[in-house]
Amino acid sequence: MYKINFKHPIHVHFIGIGGISMSGLAEVLLEEGFTVSGSDNKPSPLTEKLEAAGVSVFYGQKASNITEGIDAVIFTAAIHEDNEEYQEAARRGIPMLTRAQFLGQLMTNYEMPIAVSGTHGKTTTTSMLSHILLKAQADPTISVGGILNAIGGNIRVGHSEIFLTEACEYTNSFLEFFPKIGIILNIDEDHLDFFKDLADIRRSFRKFAELIPADGYLVINGEIENLEEIAGNLPCKVVTYGMDSRMDYSAANISYDELGRVSFDFLKKGDFAERISLSVNGDHNVSNSLSALAAADILSIPADVSGRGLNEFGGTKRRFEYKGEVNGIAVIDDYAHHPTEIKAALKAAESYPHREMWCVFQPHTYSRTKALFHDFTDALLLADHIVLADIYAARETDTLGVTSEALAEELREKGADAYYLPTFEEIEKFCLENCQKGDMLITMGAGDVVNIGEALLK
């Protein structure tokens, strides 16, 4: 495989530069003195930021974007061999790397690369650990899969030996990484358009754990089923976290304030270390913060410093994000697109002040909706009222015969107050007519459902 020498800047071209991760990696190379160009389908705040920094961005993926002088090409998992730009780079014999391969190479430049993996909670946990590292003045380089206000975007280029990134299991991309500290938050059925089943996903996480060297650490949720299968007989040190005080890091005496924000006693080996007060909601965030506290402890950051860092974390965009109020109705947005995430978000919402809870859900991909159909309806039952938008296709074209209308029908059969409306305009009108003062409206999904709440607020 072609290797980039980060000490000798060259011209690197990104196919799909507007993605949250790709745009961040482009910024890292810019900071290192590389010449950067790239392409994407349409302008966005991320591409506009890159253009302002001096990156040549082409809109529309055409062969002509591959200009003379390009030394290497990075492309995302969404780019296939029939892509015009990809084909032209291959025809010219330009070395090409996937985003994951490039990110893995970048990690080898740092003495302490940290990779946060898991089916759910990666962005939130990476953001929590980012706040801790910043509070500890550790000067890390950070690549996060969301917009984090503390770093003014999705990337921060630091000058220490700490590199922090998310590690996604989809297409096994995290197996290209080289973590010194690897975090596994949870392992659930997802991305079944790529993985065969849960056993296949678990094998992938086991391989990720095996990447950690003997002098490294695996920080793992001790509540994962058959833990030994993932964490047994590894060369690295294994530390566990969870709600059970027998784990290396745990939580006790959990309480909530009037806005549903969580506080808990942080325990190390069962002994009290610090009272932690989060500025986010939900028991799932207690678990996320425990993994961040464990990693910080490995890095010798005092618990009180970690606690102050966590308290300053108010969430990332699209993670139980308060958007505003319309006609006395609180509008919240959440990225949840898997039944486990939906349950966690709706349970967190229960402790947030409201009269009745309305959930506008946009399923994400046909394959996920079909594979987890009954799990989706079970999770959505936690809301008082459910409104279904059409399925967001993302990378898929085959509908697999599954629809949001069918989800709504099953919800009604289970006794839920559920509706299916085919357009955002109809959903917006319906919500304005039916939500009442004091209600909470949560737009939920990984597609463009966020636009519904923003349209209502306008």
Indicate if 122 belongs to the active site. yes
Indicate if 123 belongs to the active site. yes
CA neighbor of 185 nearest in space, from 133, 243, 233, 242: 242
Hey, which residues does 364 pair with through a beta bridge? 392
Token pair of 184 as six digits: 């596994």
CA neighbor of 428 nearest in space, from 454, 458, 456: 456
User: 40: how many CB neighbours lie within 10 A of its CB?
Assistant: 23
Question: What's the gap between Cα 388 and its chain centre?
Answer: 23
Token pair of 47 as six digits: 């591409």
Given the residues 27, 47, 85, 122, select the one marked as catalytic: 122
Token pair of 368 as six digits: 């996920």
Given the residues 166, 176, 341, 428, select the one marked as catalytic: 166
B/e letters for 398-428, b = 16+ CB within 10 Å, e = fewer, are: eeeebbbebbbebbeeeebebbbbeebeebb
294 sits in which H/E element: helix 283-298
Token pair of 90 as six digits: 């291959």
Task: Say which DSSP state 392 is in.
Answer: B
Given the residues 47, 76, 119, 123, select the one marked as catalytic: 123
Hey, which residues does 420 pair with through a beta bridge? 388
Q: Give backbone dihedrals phi and psi of 218, rounded to 5 degrees, phi first.
A: -105, 120
Half-sphere exposure of 112 (CA within 13 A, CB side): 17
Question: What's the gap between Cα 54 and its chain centre?
Answer: 28
User: 328: how many CB neighbours lie within 10 A of its CB?
Assistant: 11
Indicate if 370 belongs to the active site. no
Query: Which residues form the catalytic set?
Result: 122-123, 166
